[in-house]
Amino acid sequence: MTSFTRDLLDKAEQNAKLWLQPEFDDQTRKEVQKMLNSQSSELIDNFAVPMEFGTAGLRGIMGVGLSKMNIYTVKGAALGIARYLKTANSKPVIALAYDGRKNSKEFAQVAAGVLLHEGITVHFFTEIQPTPLLAFTVRNLKLDFGIMITSSHNPPEYNGLKAYVNYGGQIISPMDTEISKQISNIPNLAAIPMVNWENHSSLIKCGEKEVKTYSQWVNKLLEKKEHFADLKFVYTPLAGSAGKLAQKVLQDCGFSGMQIVPEQQNPDSSFAGLKAPNPELPENFELALRLAKKSNADLVIANDGDGDRLGVYLRETSGEFVFLSGNRLGCLLAWVLLVKLKLQNKIHGNELIVSTVVSTPQIRAIGEYFGIRFQETLTGFKWMGAAAEKSENFIFAFEEAFGYCVYGRDKDGISAAAILCAAASEWKEQGGLTALIEQMEREVGYFEEDAFEKSFPGNEGQQQMNGILSRLRSHIPNELANVKIKEIRDVLQGERVSASGRVIDDSLPKQNLIIYRAEDESWMAIRPSGTEPKIKAYFGVKMAYSSKDLADSRLYALRQQAALWFTANE
């Protein structure tokens, strides 16, 4: 046993013994004692490092321990949030909702009981809802905070808690740090007091009214509705929480040609057997594509487990269905919105679109084409939402991970689906959306992207991932997949290095991220995931539309480069 492992085990034992106190339930204490007796790696994984409350809130595998999602870590998060909010406001008002995952309802009720005990007014959604409705409600009602119990697109064994600020965006630093400090000062998570939430005078039950208001808002985003009924499409919520709301919204907008995959229509904590309710994964569209081919549908759309992401298959003129990457769909949605504004003479140059450093550079080219502002942020909608909130003319934001935001402050797969369906109905007789994509690429260039990732589980995984980035900093590469590198941007160090020298670049908050740009305009960004134990490489190419057939070979070379860098220290 290494000294590092011994230190972790000692810390885990110390933390675990606190969970033997009588306030914890019998089953929990029994499992903790079993771990203590075995002195296994499970004890270290579950107790050595407490679950961190970050800008994504909480997220982790459900189970017993400080590093797992359970009623006690949820109680701690709720109390930490309550204490933080009361430092600035003696009577905070928040919204609270939950998805269809295992334990989500119980976690939400526990959080409500703690918050109400602390004197906080809670707008509580009493039925399963998707995340976009929670974020919209916080912004629309001008509430102080929002809590969503969900783990979004993660596998069924995960759950989490997303936190939202008053403008309906995810929290950013230093708020997460301040909440985390409050949580760390709680001596006994099981002893946190609660009240019966159900009939409490400070609890306001939500649902039907908020759904109606959201649907009306989405409806107002759309125009030229006379052809909406002609569009034939298949929709699946992947057995997550978005199905009921998405169906209502799309039907209210006039899209009567929608078919829903019956096996995935209703919330299911096991997500109907899917490994994860993630529309980034083409294999999750198997049932939807089967129905689409049978019914000759124009497109297939899917939301993730909590409805904030959107994935799409388009039917080409050949009849084949093609899957859109998150980058291509994001650029298509931006193009649709900006073309509409241009035709209405509503582009004045101060409009803003936002994306992340690991998303396609094509979105910057689109901004330049329309003569509007583009802003780049770190990965995550928390940053894009904050940037949007500072602008009076925000239009659209997206990230490569299938998240899109139209005028709001957080990703919303339902309103994005409505925008896409409206465009599909308008272009149905003009070659469809594939023709619109081709038009866009002829104007701004052909861009193609891909990603590669590798998992490093356990407490030693973080050390391994940090080691990869450290090695790349100490042994600076000259080439990116056999093409000379023209610039290296180290966001953690706050600098750019090129042939002209080293310059300070503090335009972004510091993050463990390195971006390489080669002389052929190919690029690669490397960072550890913020929510999962894995390191990711994002990479892409830019070419003239006439040369797009060369993209695949270059992307393959970039993938091989990433794989080599991720294994060199093993």
pLDDT surpassing 90 at residue 40? no
Quick one: which of 82, 195, 204, 78 has its CA closest to 141? 204
More confident call, 389 vs 499: 389
Q: Is there a contact between 419 and 178 (Cβ–Cβ < 8 Å)?
A: no
Q: Does this chain's domain 49-206 share its CATH topology with 213-444? A: yes
Note the pLDDT of residue 55: 78
Stated as kind and residue range, the H or E segment containing 487 is strand 483-490
User: What SS3 state is found at 505?
Assistant: coil
| Among 378, 410, 375, residue whose Cα is nearest residue 171 | 410
> From CA 334, how far away is CA 355, in angstroms rounded?
11
Separation CA 193–CA 118 (nearest Å): 9
The tens digit of pLDDT for each residue in 344-357 reads: 999 999 999 999 99
Please identify every residue annotated as catalytic: 152
This prediction's pTM:
0.95
Strand partners of residue 354:
375, 397
Question: Looking at domain 213-444, what is its CATH homologous superfamily?
Answer: Alpha-D-Glucose-1,6-Bisphosphate, subunit A, domain 3 (3.40.120.10)
**Cis-peptide, bond into residue 528, ω within 30° of zero:** no
Share of the chain above pLDDT 70, in %: 98
- Measured CA angle at 360 (ends 545, 529), to 5 deg: 150
CA distances for 436 relative to 424, 433, 439, angstroms: 9, 5, 5
Output the DSSP codes for 146-195: EEEE--TTS-TTEEEEEEE-TTSSB--TTHHHHHHHHHHT-S-GGG----
Q: Given the structure tokens 């007014």, which residue do they identify?
A: 121
- For the chain, the average pLDDT equals 96
pLDDT at 101 over 80: yes
CATH superfamily, region 446-567: Alpha-D-phosphohexomutase, C-terminal domain (3.30.310.50)
Give, as one character, the DSSP assignment of residue 54.
B
CATH 3.30.70.20 fits 49-206, yes or no: no
Confidence of residue 570 (pLDDT cuts 50, 70, 90): low
Tokens standing for residue 286? 């198997």
Please tell me the distance from the alpha carbon of residue 333 to that of residue 354, in angstroms, as a whole number.
13
Question: What angle, 0 to 180 degrees and rounded to 10, lies between the N-to-C axes of helices 432-444 and 413-427?
Answer: 100
- Measure the CA–CA gap between 78 and 541, rounded to whole angstroms: 44
User: pLDDT by residue (tens digit) across 44-92?
Assistant: 999 999 998 987 899 999 999 999 999 999 999 999 999 999 999 999 9
Q: CA 98 from chain center: how many Å?
A: 16
Could you report how far apart the first and last alpha carbons of the chain are, in Å?
A: 19
User: What's the distance, CA 150 to chain centroid?
Assistant: 11
Task: Say what angle helices 131-140 and 208-220 make with each other, to 10 degrees.
Answer: 90
The count of C-alpha atoms lying within 13 angstroms of the C-alpha of 72, restricted to the half-sphere facing its C-beta, is 24
Q: What is the percentage of the chain residues whose pLDDT exceeds 90?
A: 90
Instruction: Please determine, for residue 569, whether its predicted confidence score (pLDDT) is greater than 70.
Output: no
Using an 8 Å Cβ cutoff, are 61 and 164 in contact? no
Q: Given a cut of 90, is residue 229 above it in pLDDT?
A: yes
Cβ-Cβ contacts under 8 Å for 168 (sequence gap 6 or more): 135, 136, 138, 139, 140, 146, 385, 408, 409, 410
pLDDT band at 378 (very low <50, low <70, confident <90, very high): very high
Mean pLDDT of 540-564: 94
352-356 and 483-490 strand pairing: unpaired
CA–CA dist 182, 88 (Å, integer):
14
How do the domains of the chain map onto residue ranges? 49-206, 213-444, 446-567
